[in-house]
Structure 1
Amino acid sequence: MKAETAAKKLGVLLEATPEDFRSGPVTRTRLNELLESPPEWLTELRRTGPHPRPVVAAKLGVSIAGLRRGGVEEPLTTEQIHDLLKDKPDWLVRERATHAEVMAENARVKHGRAAKAAS
């Protein structure tokens, strides 16, 4: 698979990975090895970042679209994420509330469908 795909599966930003990882395809065996026994560079990237948008969004409790609406266009480090969570700018409070509402509505719909299917 492409290195970009492997980076997504590992939850890291491709540009932050070592050159030998980026330079060629990653086999399924290599990906499994990285998942089972991550090297120091992977552990450090996961711990401190910079993190890709899906990871940043999950850590902040917002959607990827919410990040964009909040003006977050670049990858963030763990420290930057913690600073945002500590300071809680208006856009973050608003987007977290919106995201929570959407998740609650999705859960309600899913529960309704499950109840309908069971009857």
Structure 2
Amino acid sequence: MTSHQKTQTMKPSTAAKKLGVYLEATPAEFQEGVVSRDELAALQTDPPEWLLELRRVGPHPRPVVAAKLGVSIAGLARGGVTEALTTEQIEALKNDQPDWLRKERATQAEVRKEAVRIKEKNAARGDQDHGSRS
């Protein structure tokens, strides 16, 4: 008995997330089809011009916008940014430094600092646990 492995596919929205691009800005044939794992791998290793251009100038999805601005997705929403932004718009925000962006960046820095503190505390606790067993 032979088994035929079915090719795994994903929705265009899932593929766009994995590629870090805004689905609505992708070509119609990408939006209307399905993407196999092999096709996704090919897009990642040898991106076509449309994908390179989208990554370069956008519009970018909110997770990418948040990362480029150094804030959380929730921070974007608190700042009133609910739509995809282009690279040019992101750079303008970085240059203008509106109050909400400064505040959200400070909040994000505190969150990161606290995460490092907890990680170090847990690592030290783990070392103590291993040391007491010897």
1:36 is aligned, of 45, 52, 60, to 45
> When the two structures are aligned, how many residues end up with a matched partner?
119
- Determine the structure 1 residue equivalent to 2:3: none
Q: Considering only CA atoms, is the larger Rg found in Structure 1 or Structure 2? A: 2
| Percent identity between the two aligned chains | 66
Runs of 4+ displaced beyond 3 Å: none
1:9 is displaced (CA, Å) by 0.3
**Which whole-Å CA distance do the structure 2 matches of 1:62 and 1:105 have between them?**
15
- Determine the structure 2 residue equivalent to 1:67: 76
- Determine the structure 1 residue equivalent to 2:63: 54
**Which whole-Å CA distance do the structure 2 matches of 1:90 and 1:20 have between them?**
41
**Which whole-Å CA distance do the structure 2 matches of 1:37 and 1:115 have between them?**
43
1:20 is displaced (CA, Å) by 0.8
- Secondary structure at the residue paired with 1:51? coil
Q: Which has the higher contact order (CA 8 A, sep 6+)?
A: 1
Amino acid at match of 1:98: T
Give unmatched runs, 5+ long, in structure 1.
none
1:89 and 2:98 correspond = yes
Backbone CA RMSD of aligned residues: 0.6
